[in-house]
């Protein structure tokens, strides 16, 4: 149980375009999902907390107009990287809590974004 599916697993886009990443909880409902970014050889940095039916909460230093988060249902959150630039190239990972096992977060497989 507790499967989180993330799509796409990798994407290459041109500078200036937008990219949407989907995160789905397959066998549970997630009122809260978290989006992380990981640069090479670095740890996971929390970008934002996605709340079903309300606005996302962004961490300090993360531009909310650049990283648009939508959590329209209890099983789906999306992250859109708008007007992507090469410095946005990174590994983006979503995660969700089941609620049944307290604070355990389950992660999607991540999306490798490369902006050329």
Partner 1 sequence: EDKVVQSPLSLVVHEGDTVTLNCSYEVTNFRSLLWYKQEKKAPTFLFMLTSSGIEKKSGRLSSILDKKELFSILNITATQTGDSAVYLCAVGRGSNYKLTFGKGTLLTVNP
The CA distance from 72 to 60, in Å, is 23
Alpha-carbon distance of 113 to 12, in angstroms, equals 6
- Tell me whether residue 32 or residue 82 sits nearer to partner 1 (CB atom): 32
Q: Which of 3, 12, 8, 11 is nearest to 30 (CA)?
A: 3
Q: Would you count residue 42 as binding partner 1 (CB under 8 A)?
A: yes
Give the nearer residue to partner 1 in terms of CB position, either 19 or 23. Answer: 23
Q: Are 21 and 5 in contact (CB under 8 A)?
A: no
Token code pair at residue 99:
């609620």
Tell me which H or E stretch contains 96: strand 90-97
> Using CB under 8 A, which residues numbered 50 to 109 contact partner 1?
93, 95, 97, 101-109
If binding means CB under 8 A, how many residues of this protein chain bind partner 1?
A: 22
Q: How far is the CB of 67 from partner 1 (least distance, A)?
A: 17
* DSSP type of residue 10: E
Query: Binder to partner 1 among 24, 84, 110, 115 (CB under 8 A)?
Result: 110
Q: Which of 11, 22, 49, 89 binds partner 1 (CB under 8 A)?
A: 49
How far apart are CB 80 and partner 1 at their closest, in Å?
20
Which of 43, 53, 61, 65 binds partner 1 (CB under 8 A)? It is 43
């Amino acid at each position: 149980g507790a499967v989180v599916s993330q799509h796409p697993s990798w994407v290459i886009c041109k500078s200036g375009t937008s990219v949407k990443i989907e995160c789905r909880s397959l066998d549970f409902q997630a009122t809260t999902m978290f989006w992380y970014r990981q640069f090479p050889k670095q740890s996971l940095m929390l970008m934002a907390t996605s709340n079903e039916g309300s606005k996302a909460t962004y961490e300090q230093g993360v531009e909310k107009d650049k990283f648009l988060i939508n959590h329209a249902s209890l099983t789906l959150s999306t992250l859109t990287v708008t007007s992507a630039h090469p410095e946005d190239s990174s590994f983006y990972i979503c995660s969700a809590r089941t609620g049944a096992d307290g604070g355990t977060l389950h992660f999607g497989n991540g999306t490798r974004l490369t902006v050329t």
